[in-house]
Structure 1
Protein backbone atom coordinates (compact mmCIF):
# COMPACT_ATOMS: atom_id res chain seq x y z
CA UNK A 1 0.00 0.00 0.00
CA UNK A 2 1.24 3.53 -0.72
CA UNK A 3 2.05 5.79 2.17
CA UNK A 4 -0.47 8.49 2.96
CA UNK A 5 0.61 12.09 2.48
CA UNK A 6 -1.48 14.76 4.22
CA UNK A 7 -1.32 18.48 4.94
CA UNK A 8 -1.87 19.85 8.43
CA UNK A 9 -1.07 22.66 10.81
CA UNK A 10 1.52 22.47 13.60
CA UNK A 11 -0.22 22.87 16.96
CA UNK A 12 2.75 22.35 19.27
CA UNK A 13 6.51 22.54 18.88
CA UNK A 14 7.50 22.24 22.54
CA UNK A 15 9.19 18.85 22.16
CA UNK A 16 12.58 18.38 20.54
CA UNK A 17 12.37 16.75 17.09
CA UNK A 18 8.61 16.16 17.56
CA UNK A 19 5.67 18.23 16.37
CA UNK A 20 1.97 17.84 17.06
CA UNK A 21 0.12 18.35 13.78
CA UNK A 22 -3.63 18.83 13.50
CA UNK A 23 -5.37 17.67 10.32
CA UNK A 24 -8.83 19.25 9.84
CA UNK A 25 -11.61 17.35 8.06
CA UNK A 26 -15.36 17.47 7.59
CA UNK A 27 -17.49 14.48 8.53
CA UNK A 28 -21.09 13.70 7.66
CA UNK A 29 -23.22 12.78 10.66
CA UNK A 30 -24.53 9.23 10.14
CA UNK A 31 -28.10 9.93 11.30
CA UNK A 32 -28.80 13.58 10.56
CA UNK A 33 -26.63 14.09 7.48
CA UNK A 34 -25.22 17.39 8.68
CA UNK A 35 -21.52 18.00 8.02
CA UNK A 36 -19.41 19.02 10.98
CA UNK A 37 -15.74 19.83 11.48
CA UNK A 38 -13.49 17.31 13.13
CA UNK A 39 -9.73 17.01 13.51
CA UNK A 40 -7.08 14.35 13.75
CA UNK A 41 -3.95 14.86 15.83
CA UNK A 42 -0.67 13.27 14.71
CA UNK A 43 2.77 13.21 16.28
CA UNK A 44 5.35 13.97 13.60
CA UNK A 45 9.12 13.41 13.58
CA UNK A 46 10.94 16.62 12.60
CA UNK A 47 14.67 15.75 12.56
CA UNK A 48 16.00 19.29 12.03
CA UNK A 49 13.37 21.20 14.05
CA UNK A 50 12.54 23.22 10.93
CA UNK A 51 8.82 23.74 11.64
CA UNK A 52 7.29 25.99 14.27
CA UNK A 53 3.86 26.41 15.81
CA UNK A 54 1.29 27.64 13.29
CA UNK A 55 3.16 26.44 10.18
CA UNK A 56 1.36 24.50 7.47
CA UNK A 57 3.27 21.28 6.80
CA UNK A 58 3.15 18.21 4.59
CA UNK A 59 3.64 14.89 6.40
CA UNK A 60 3.98 11.29 5.28
CA UNK A 61 3.10 8.05 7.00
CA UNK A 62 6.10 6.06 8.25
CA UNK A 63 7.12 3.14 10.42
CA UNK A 64 6.74 3.81 14.16
CA UNK A 65 9.53 6.04 15.48
CA UNK A 66 8.34 5.93 19.09
CA UNK A 67 5.21 5.06 21.05
CA UNK A 68 3.08 7.77 19.43
CA UNK A 69 5.08 8.95 16.38
CA UNK A 70 3.92 7.40 13.10
CA UNK A 71 4.57 10.29 10.70
CA UNK A 72 7.58 12.12 9.24
CA UNK A 73 7.83 15.72 8.10
CA UNK A 74 8.19 16.11 4.32
CA UNK A 75 8.33 19.89 4.01
CA UNK A 76 7.08 23.16 5.44
CA UNK A 77 4.53 24.52 2.97
CA UNK A 78 3.90 27.89 4.61
CA UNK A 79 5.48 29.60 7.59
CA UNK A 80 3.23 31.05 10.26
CA UNK A 81 2.53 34.77 10.10
CA UNK A 82 1.23 34.97 13.65
CA UNK A 83 3.05 37.48 15.82
CA UNK A 84 4.18 36.45 19.29
CA UNK A 85 3.14 39.54 21.25
CA UNK A 86 4.59 38.32 24.54
CA UNK A 87 8.03 37.77 23.00
CA UNK A 88 7.93 41.19 21.33
CA UNK A 89 7.08 42.89 24.64
CA UNK A 90 9.84 41.01 26.46
CA UNK A 91 12.39 41.98 23.80
CA UNK A 92 11.31 45.63 23.94
CA UNK A 93 11.54 45.65 27.74
CA UNK A 94 15.00 44.04 27.61
CA UNK A 95 16.16 46.66 25.09
CA UNK A 96 14.86 49.49 27.32
CA UNK A 97 16.70 48.04 30.32
CA UNK A 98 19.93 47.81 28.32
CA UNK A 99 19.68 51.44 27.17
CA UNK A 100 18.91 52.62 30.72
CA UNK A 101 21.91 50.74 32.12
CA UNK A 102 24.15 52.11 29.34
CA UNK A 103 22.99 55.67 30.07
CA UNK A 104 23.50 55.19 33.81
CA UNK A 105 27.05 53.90 33.26
CA UNK A 106 27.98 56.98 31.20
Structure 2
Protein backbone atom coordinates (compact mmCIF):
# COMPACT_ATOMS: atom_id res chain seq x y z
CA UNK A 1 0.00 0.00 0.00
CA UNK A 2 2.79 2.44 0.87
CA UNK A 3 4.29 2.02 -2.61
CA UNK A 4 0.96 2.88 -4.24
CA UNK A 5 0.49 6.00 -2.10
CA UNK A 6 4.06 7.14 -2.76
CA UNK A 7 3.60 6.53 -6.51
CA UNK A 8 0.29 8.42 -6.41
CA UNK A 9 1.90 11.36 -4.64
CA UNK A 10 4.90 11.39 -6.97
CA UNK A 11 2.68 11.33 -10.03
CA UNK A 12 0.50 14.07 -8.58
CA UNK A 13 3.46 16.36 -8.07
CA UNK A 14 4.51 15.76 -11.67
CA UNK A 15 0.95 16.46 -12.84
CA UNK A 16 0.49 13.02 -14.38
CA UNK A 17 -2.53 12.20 -12.23
CA UNK A 18 -4.65 15.02 -13.62
CA UNK A 19 -6.33 12.94 -16.38
CA UNK A 20 -7.23 10.21 -13.90
CA UNK A 21 -9.09 12.66 -11.67
CA UNK A 22 -10.41 14.87 -14.46
CA UNK A 23 -13.02 12.15 -14.77
CA UNK A 24 -13.83 10.55 -11.44
CA UNK A 25 -12.12 7.18 -11.05
CA UNK A 26 -14.51 4.22 -11.01
CA UNK A 27 -15.70 3.75 -7.44
CA UNK A 28 -16.42 0.38 -5.82
CA UNK A 29 -20.15 -0.32 -5.94
CA UNK A 30 -20.23 -1.23 -2.24
CA UNK A 31 -18.75 2.10 -1.11
CA UNK A 32 -20.20 5.61 -1.25
CA UNK A 33 -17.74 8.53 -1.01
CA UNK A 34 -18.90 11.97 0.10
CA UNK A 35 -16.59 14.98 0.37
CA UNK A 36 -17.02 18.42 1.93
CA UNK A 37 -15.70 21.69 0.55
CA UNK A 38 -12.00 22.47 0.81
CA UNK A 39 -10.97 24.43 3.87
CA UNK A 40 -7.66 26.06 4.68
CA UNK A 41 -5.79 27.02 7.81
CA UNK A 42 -2.25 28.31 8.43
CA UNK A 43 -0.87 24.76 7.93
CA UNK A 44 -2.46 24.15 4.50
CA UNK A 45 -5.63 22.75 2.97
CA UNK A 46 -7.88 19.94 4.09
CA UNK A 47 -11.10 18.25 3.10
CA UNK A 48 -13.36 16.10 5.27
CA UNK A 49 -14.41 12.82 3.69
CA UNK A 50 -16.96 10.13 4.52
CA UNK A 51 -17.11 6.62 3.07
CA UNK A 52 -20.21 4.51 3.70
CA UNK A 53 -20.00 0.73 3.35
CA UNK A 54 -23.28 -0.19 1.63
CA UNK A 55 -22.12 -3.74 0.91
CA UNK A 56 -22.51 -6.92 2.91
CA UNK A 57 -18.88 -7.60 3.88
CA UNK A 58 -16.39 -5.84 6.12
CA UNK A 59 -13.51 -4.02 4.43
CA UNK A 60 -10.20 -3.84 6.29
CA UNK A 61 -8.98 -0.60 4.72
CA UNK A 62 -10.09 2.08 2.26
CA UNK A 63 -7.55 4.46 0.70
CA UNK A 64 -8.96 7.83 -0.41
CA UNK A 65 -6.83 10.23 -2.47
CA UNK A 66 -7.43 13.86 -3.37
CA UNK A 67 -5.93 16.35 -5.76
CA UNK A 68 -5.98 19.88 -4.44
CA UNK A 69 -6.44 22.73 -6.91
CA UNK A 70 -5.97 26.49 -6.91
CA UNK A 71 -7.67 28.42 -9.71
CA UNK A 72 -8.17 25.17 -11.64
CA UNK A 73 -4.53 24.03 -11.47
CA UNK A 74 -3.38 21.02 -9.47
CA UNK A 75 -1.11 22.15 -6.64
CA UNK A 76 -0.64 18.78 -4.94
CA UNK A 77 -2.07 15.45 -3.90
CA UNK A 78 -2.59 13.68 -0.61
CA UNK A 79 -4.42 10.65 0.75
CA UNK A 80 -5.74 9.03 3.89
CA UNK A 81 -6.74 5.53 4.95
CA UNK A 82 -9.91 4.50 6.76
CA UNK A 83 -9.73 1.19 8.63
CA UNK A 84 -12.25 -1.53 9.56
CA UNK A 85 -15.35 -0.54 7.62
CA UNK A 86 -18.32 -2.77 8.40
CA UNK A 87 -21.61 -2.95 6.47
CA UNK A 88 -23.92 -0.02 7.14
CA UNK A 89 -21.25 2.13 8.80
CA UNK A 90 -19.81 5.42 7.54
CA UNK A 91 -16.12 6.04 8.14
CA UNK A 92 -15.03 9.65 8.57
CA UNK A 93 -11.60 11.05 7.80
CA UNK A 94 -9.68 14.03 6.55
CA UNK A 95 -7.26 14.49 3.66
CA UNK A 96 -4.73 17.26 4.32
CA UNK A 97 -2.14 18.90 2.07
CA UNK A 98 0.45 20.79 4.08
CA UNK A 99 1.42 24.23 2.75
CA UNK A 100 -1.46 24.50 0.28
CA UNK A 101 -3.05 27.57 1.83
CA UNK A 102 -4.20 28.75 -1.61
CA UNK A 103 -6.26 25.63 -2.43
CA UNK A 104 -9.81 26.36 -3.55
CA UNK A 105 -11.07 22.97 -4.74
CA UNK A 106 -10.32 19.24 -4.63
CA UNK A 107 -11.08 16.11 -6.62
CA UNK A 108 -11.22 12.92 -4.57
CA UNK A 109 -11.68 9.24 -5.23
CA UNK A 110 -11.29 5.84 -3.64
CA UNK A 111 -7.87 4.56 -4.66
CA UNK A 112 -8.13 1.09 -3.15
CA UNK A 113 -10.41 -0.96 -0.93
CA UNK A 114 -9.36 -4.30 0.51
Normalising by structure 1, report the TM-score: 0.32
Task: Flag the structure with higher helix content.
Answer: 1
Structure with bigger RCO (C-alpha 8 Å, 6+ apart): 2
If you compute each CA radius of gyration, which structure gives the higher value, 1 or 2?
A: 1
Normalising by structure 2, report the TM-score: 0.30
